[in-house]
Chains A and B, each alone.
Chain A
Amino acid sequence: EVQLVESGGDLVQPGGSLRLSCAASGFTLSRHWMHWVRQDPGKGLVWVSHINFDGSTTRYADSVQGRFTISRDNAENTLFLEMNRLRVEDTGVYYCARVRYGGYDFDYWGQGTLVTVSS
C-alpha cells in the first residue's frame, strides 16, 4: 500500500526555520517526481515546490524561492522541505504528493502537517 506520512510541522515565529519530512512507503521513491503543496487555513491549494527523480532538478513557487529548499533521500525513502525565513503567510497545512508515471497528476498525497507562523 502506498503511504506518504509528513512530519515536522510546528508553531514558529516569523523569521524562523522548520524542516518538514515526508516518509514514503509501499513504492520506490526514486521512480517518482514529488511535490509539496500548501493549503492555507480554510482556503485552497497552493503549489509550493517540485523535485525530480534524483534531486537534480527542483522548482519553486515565486513566494518561496530563495527561502525554501526541497530535497530527497531515496535510500531512506524520504522527501524534505527546508523552510527558512518563515513568514506569517507561509502558515498552512503542507502536503507531500507523488506524481503518477507520465506526469498526469498527483496520484497519492500524505495526510499533511500543520505549519503555523505567528509571534
Chain B
Amino acid sequence: DIQLTQSPSFLSASVGDRVTITCRASQGISSSLAWYQQKPGKAPQVLIYAASILQSGVPSRFTGSGSGTEFTLTIYSLQPEDFATYYCQQLNSYPRTFGQGTRLDIK
C-alpha cells in the first residue's frame, strides 16, 4: 500500500499569511494526487486534482504542485474561511489512501 505523510499535522497561522502543506508518498505516484478541504461537520471538498489542477470555483490563492513522491499545497493570503483540515489522497493505486490530515488553525 502507498502511504501518504502530510506535514505539518497542525499549523497555526494568521489571516493574510502564506502557508504550505507537504504530502510525501512512500512510492512514486506520478501526478495522481488530490487535495481536499474539510470543515467541521461537513464532507470533504476537492480543491486540487491531478496534483496541480484547480477545481472549478476554488479561489486562485490555492495552488498545488509536485509529482512523483513529493507534493505541496500552498495557500496564498489566508482568508478566514480557509481555516479547516486539509487532506491529500493518492489515486495511483488501490487502496486509495489519504494523508493523515493537516489542521489549520487561526493564530
Listed in ascending order, the chain A residues whose CB lies under 8 Å from chain B are 35, 44-47, 50, 59, 61-62, 95, 100, 103-107, 109-112
Number of A-B contacts (CB under 8 A): 55
* Complex-state Cα separation, A16 to B76, whole angstroms: 48
Check B46–A35 contact: CB distance below 8 A: no
B38 — which chain A residues lie within 8 A by C-beta?
45
Classify the interface of chain B: helix, strand, loop or mixed.
loop
CB <8 Å contact, A107 and B96: no
Beyond the given A62-B95, A105-B34, A105-B46, could you list 19 further A-B residue pairs with CB under 8 A, ordered by the A residue number? A44-B98, A44-B100, A45-B44, A45-B89, A45-B98, A46-B98, A47-B95, A47-B98, A50-B94, A59-B94, A95-B43, A95-B44, A104-B91, A105-B50, A105-B89, A107-B46, A107-B49, A109-B43, A112-B43
Chain B residue contacts of A109, Cβ below 8 A: 43-45
B53 lies within 8 A of A106 (CB): no
Contact surface of B with A, Cβ cutoff 8 Å: 32, 34, 36, 38, 42-46, 49-50, 53, 55, 87, 89, 91, 94-101
